[in-house]
Amino acid sequence: MAVSHMTRAEIISGLAAHILTTDLQSEGQFPLFRKTGNEWVMSSRGSWIAGFWSGCLWLAGYATDSDTLQNRGRRRWNQIAQGLNADSVFRAMNAWYGFGPVARLTNDSEAETLLTECQSQLSATFAHWEGFPLGTAMGGGEAGNNRITIDPCAALIEMGRHADWQSMPMAHTKLMVSQLMTAKGDFYTHSLFRNAWHPEGISGEWPRGQSWGVLAMATAALYDPETYQEKAQHCCERWWQRFGVSIPFNTAQDSVLLPDASASLISVVAYLKMHQVMGGVGEWKDRAVAMLDSVLASDCVTGNTEGIRFSGCCYATAANRQDSVEMPYGYFFLLQALLIVSGRVEASAF
């Protein structure tokens, strides 16, 4: 059943119910992805989505005043902390999306301590070319320590505001702009350093990579508008020119087009941050709400107040195969977007 007829509060309640049900069935593992009609594929360590799942649980509890959900999110923290020594920049995403909302919204000392520990781990990897390498774990591969990726840039920027650690994340952001962002406002998702930088793939080809870049620039503009406001406006406008309220499509195997509504949600959050950057001037919030409504009206959001599923994440579920699936990061950004447009939190909160 579609959910576009439901209020935002009812949608949040339905999402929280489904997130709780999923966690109760997880037996301590992390839900990785779920294809419609199938069981969740679980992961013992959670890879790059561990923090998103902990964050989903806590945010769902925060949004519905459920101590049960908030406590279940906190119970995941030890598992996430054990992975903070992994050789991957994605641990920044696990730390920020797992601990960041709790630290920002409640000043939780344990969450703040865990963020500081992750900062220390990441600082040790900061490279001579003034950025954080992708790393060899979590799919980074042998060349991972000489490769950069756009995905965790926003998380790094946000982490940088904790305990006055912004120097390295902002240097990293400068590198992302110079090596991954094009004059048009599109993004390469990766670049490899071999005596010089060599961008990989086709800029703007992967919608979710584009949305990670848009989110990074909007986040940077919150903290350094003099340097990043114009860049953020440019790439946000580029997204709107390309996709508008439409859900972008990924090209999967055999040239099958799959919608990636999760990319839209990441850009929704970016647009809401831009609304705050611009002091409410412009169409950023109106566009964000229109994009969010488009996702909610699609067939990737289904259910009722007893449980709502979001299956709008395009993901490689096997070699040479992509599917539209449920994933923790999709639930996180859907909850974040709903909380912001409902006036429950500021766009800059986390």
The 10s digit of each residue's pLDDT in 15-61 is: 999 999 999 999 999 999 999 999 999 999 999 999 999 999 999 99
- Give the DSSP H or E segment for 258: strand 257-259
Residue 32 three-state SS: strand
Q: How far apart are CA 165 and CA 156, in angstroms?
A: 10
pTM of the model: 0.98
- Within 10 Å of residue 81's Cβ, how many Cβ atoms? 18
Angstrom distances, CA of residue 176 to CA of 89, 114, 156, 198: 14, 26, 12, 13
* pLDDT score at 321: 87
* pLDDT score at 196: 97
Q: How far apart are CA 314 and CA 256, in angstroms?
A: 12
List all residues 6 or more positions away from 326 whose beta carbon is below 8 Å from its beta carbon: 31, 33, 34, 40, 309, 310, 311, 313
Q: Which domains does the chain have, with CATH numbers?
A: 8-341 (1.50.10.10)
Angstrom distances, CA of residue 280 to CA of 9, 115, 276, 288, 342: 24, 31, 6, 13, 16
* pLDDT score at 252: 57
Torsion of CA 168, 174, 178, 181, to 10 degrees: 110
Residues with pLDDT less than 70, the chain: 252-255
Q: How far apart are CA 205 and CA 292, in angstroms?
A: 22
Q: How far apart are CA 42 and CA 21, in angstroms?
A: 14
Quick check: 276 and 262 in contact, CB under 8 A? no
Crossing angle of helices 207-223 and 167-180, rounded to 10°: 140
Quick check: 320 and 314 in contact, CB under 8 A? no
Residue 308 three-state SS: strand
Query: Tokens for 287?
Result: 């566009």
